[in-house]
Each structure stands twice: as structure tokens, then as C-alpha cells.
Amino acid sequence: MALTVPQKVRNLYQRFDKKILKTMPDVYSNDIQFRDPLHALNGLSNLTEYLSGMMDDLLECRFEFHHSMELPERGEALLFWTMHYRHKKLAGGKQLELTGNTHILFKDKVYYHRDYFDAGSMLYEHLPVMGFAIRQIKKKVGAK
């Protein structure tokens, strides 16, 4: 039985390393539109270059998919995940976690991919000066 497009996306990101770059054309269309809180990219080559650059400083990264809402007849899915990662320049390389979700639109391949996550939790909170300031602000407003 052939994998659905959402299953292909989950399989692609379960282990996030440079090995996935060569299989991206199997999952994404050449005219992919990619959005996340930090970037807006168009085209498979731009997405591949962006992900490759992101991987350069990662010591380890994998996505754990919890559940999804899929509407195959509309070519749409929402995937809920936790990213487990270690980065050379964040938190001394310690294991970090980030929760988020991905909205995809697809036909035979994904042509729209949008990630939703808290960029502060992913990046800024783990930088020495900025992280301290963000944690203090969150504490004052009662955010976790």
C-alpha cells in the first residue's frame, strides 16, 4: 500500500539530518511555498538550501508526531509535533524541545508547507542575554 502524502512528510522529518535532502523531491513539488515564523521561501531549491543551512549547527534533531487532522479529499493536513534538538550554539548543546504544528496542502506532492511554532522558545530564550530578558518578561506576564 502506498504512503499518503502526510505519511511521507512525517517519515521525512522523523530524523532531521542531511540524508533527507536527497529525498525532498519525492515529497515536495518544485514550486513549494514554505513559511515558518522566521522565513518565507518559494521553490524546492530554496527550501533545500534553507534546511541544509539549518542542519549545519544541529548536533541532533528529530520530530515526534503526536497526531494529525487530515482531509485527503481536499489535499490538506495539519500535523502536530514536538521537535527534539541539540544545537551547537544554544543552551550549551543540551537537549531542547519545541512543540508546533505544520499545515500542508498537497496533490501528489506538497505544494504549501507552513510551520507554526514559538520562535522565542526555539531560539531566543536560549541566547545568554536575550534569553534572560525573555524569561523575565514571561514570568511577569504569567506565561510558561
Question: What element of type H or E holds 47?
Answer: helix 44-55
| Per-residue pLDDT tens digits for 55-86 | 888 889 999 999 999 999 999 999 999 999 88
87 bridge partner residues? 58
| Per-residue pLDDT tens digits for 14-64 | 888 999 999 999 999 999 999 998 889 999 999 999 999 888 888 899 999
* DSSP summary character for residue 19: G
Q: Set out the domains of the chain in order of their start, with CATH numbers.
A: 5-118 (3.10.450.50)
Which residues 6+ apart lie within 8 Å of 53 measured at CB?
none
Cut 0.85: pTM above it: no
